[in-house]
Structure 1
Amino acid sequence: MREVVFDTETTGLDPKTGDRMVEIGCVEMIGRVETGKTFHAYYNPERDMPSAAEAVHGLSSNFLSAKPLFSEGADDLLEFLGDAPLVAHNAGFDFGFLNAELERIGREPISLDRMVDTVAIARKKHPGAKASLDALCTRYGIDRSHRVKHGALLDAELLAQVYVELTGGRQIGLELAGEMDSADNASAGHSDATGLPKSDPATRREPRPHAASAEELSRHAAFVETMKDAIWVR
């Protein structure tokens, strides 16, 4: 299943009061494995950059003034996102800014049904523990030494690693195909009333027989008879 992990940087905390998205970074994953395909863009917010926000991500008004408007790059972004589930940390924040930018240019907002919030997953998996991106990187041994300031693509890349850990670990690709399908169904909302993945009777196979046949048992007994001074008869 294709998923896109993304992060945004903004001029502040609330798009309803005039704050704008100034950077977005996206990482493509298929079957919880990064494909190497990414999307990254800066946008001119057409307003000043508050010093508190600049201290977080380091993006100045001067730097952003030479970048394109969101309207000029919206099609490229939407093409990359496609119809995949969108994974973000505290996803309501990022969805809020992304949809505010889309609505500002008369485009349809992205459905919240596509939202996968890693903060919610982390709080469920580790109740009472810190759920910040830094804290989760520390918990799972993910190197973030190069993260001096927030950056949308860098944070999306770190979050992709965290997301793998939250949903099965780094060896998730070694699971049996049936288990992978169940994990995909669960993340896509295909679960029953208990929250467990639904099984698909159409794809279920009957177990294969594993008991030895009479012929195989006879051949094994004959082989054992050829062994001299066997340890189990001493």
Structure 2
Amino acid sequence: MTSEIVLDTETTSTDAKVDRIIEVGCVELMNHTQTGRTFYRYINPQRAVHPDALAVHGLTDAFLSDKPLFATIAPELIDFIGDGTLMIHSAPFYVRFLNAEFARLPTSQPLAIQLDAVVDTLLIARRKHAGAANNLDALCSRYGIDRSRRTKHGALLDAQILAEVYVELLGGKQGGFDLGPVAATVNKAAAEAARPVAPRVFKSRLADAERKRHAAFVATLKSPVWGDYISELKEA
């Protein structure tokens, strides 16, 4: 049975080209249950933490100064992930950072993580709760998950909380029963979540004279949104 690895990181800021990972946390799931195996490391980024990022996670330059480099912890991280399926909330951001760090390794660079092989729990949440807030705090509130420990963002704590959220997104344990076929198709669910939804097209019921008068009025407006609406009227 393939494991699922819930992963979270903290970084010096938001640009993967120049910023660095400073903390990695992973939680292993088997059959959608936490096994107790975790991976947790702080990392010396060899650059300053941006004040905005510091406000989020509280990891100072002084605290990180004696921590190992990413190149040092990379073999352990890669070994922990193994052939497991990565589960990440807002996967593109984190995958960019991981691949950038892998590309900086001096030797034995691992293959880049392919985004389509990662289950993005944010996409699942957006599909399930369209139009609602789907950040981790909002999902905890929706599913009654205790986040009182989360006074600051932390990679391992966030990964543990996300593991709980993930099970709820799949439908929950429901009295201890296994999730069965729903859980077995999580990658398919994530792919479905990423599928764009076709916009609804509304047909106009205006008479020709009314249509022309309305189009003439809208043409006097500057907004490009109204220009798109005129095109829809012409096609109706």
Q: TM-score, normalised by structure 1?
A: 0.76
Aligned to 2:36: 36
Matched, 1:11 2:4: no
Q: Deviations over 1:161-204 (max 9, x none)?
A: 000000121338514xxx62x334412449999x9xxxxxxxxx
Q: 1:157 to 1:192 in 2, by over 3 A?
A: closer
- Specify the alignment match of 1:96 in structure 2: 96
Q: Which residue pairs with 1:83 in the alignment? A: 83
Two-structure CA RMSD over aligned residues (Å): 2.2
Cα distance, 1:87 vs structure 2 = 0.7
Aligned equivalents of 2:103, 2:134: Cα separation in 1: 30
- Could you say which residue in structure 2 is the equivalent of 1:60? 60
Map 1:73-152 to 2 at 5 A.
73-105=73-105, 107=109, 108-152=111-155
Distance 1:11 1:172 in 2: 42
User: Does structure 2 retain, via aligned residues, the 8 Å contact 1:185–1:191?
Assistant: no
Q: Deviations over 1:113-165 (max 9, x none)?
A: 32111110001001111001000000000000111100000000100000000
Which secondary structure state, in structure 1, belongs to the residue aligned with residue 185 of structure 2?
Answer: helix
Task: State the 4+ residue runs in structure 1 displaced beyond 3 angstroms.
Answer: 188-193
Question: In the alignment, which residue of structure 1 is the partner of 2:50?
Answer: 50
8 Å contact from structure 2 (residues 124, 190) kept in 1 = no
**CA pair 26-134 structure 1, distance change in 2 beyond 3 A:** same
Q: Return the letter of the residue paired with 2:5.
A: V
Gaps of 5+ in 2: 195-236
Deviation at 1:82, TM superposition (A): 0.7
Per the TM alignment, residue 39 of structure 1 is displaced from its structure 2 partner at its CA by 0.3
State percent identity of aligned pairs: 51
Q: Distance in 1 between matches of 2:174 and 2:69?
A: 41
Letter in 1 for 2:44: N
- Contact 1:3–1:87 (Cα < 8 Å) also in 2: yes
Q: Deviations over 1:24-75 (max 9, x none)?
A: 1000001111101100001110111111111110000111110000001111
Residues 23, 155 of structure 2: 8 Å contact kept: yes
Q: 2 CA distance for matches of 1:172 and 1:78? A: 35
Question: How far apart in 2 are the matches of 1:88 and 1:173?
Answer: 25
Instruction: Give a deviation string over 1:194-231, Cα, whole Å, max 9, x none.
Output: x9xxxxxxxxxxxxxxxxxxxxxxxxxxxxxxxxxxxx
TM-score, scaled to structure 2: 0.75
> Aligned partners of 1:93 and 1:191: how far apart in 2?
16
Larger C-alpha radius of gyration, 1 or 2?
Answer: 1
Segments of 5+ residues of structure 1 without an aligned counterpart are 196-234
Aligned length in residues: 189
Letter in 1 for 2:4: E
For 2:12 and 2:141, the matched residues in 1 are separated by 27
- Would you say the 8 A contact 2:89–2:121 is kept in 1? yes
Residue 155 of structure 1, aligned match among 149, 158, 165 = 158
In 1, the alpha carbon distance for the partners of 2:139 and 2:187 equals: 23
Structure 1, 146-155 or 107-116: larger mean CA deviation: 107-116
SS of the residue aligned with 1:161?
Answer: helix
Could you say if the C-alpha distance between residues 136 and 32 of structure 1 is closer, same or farther in structure 2, counting changes exceeding 3 Å? same
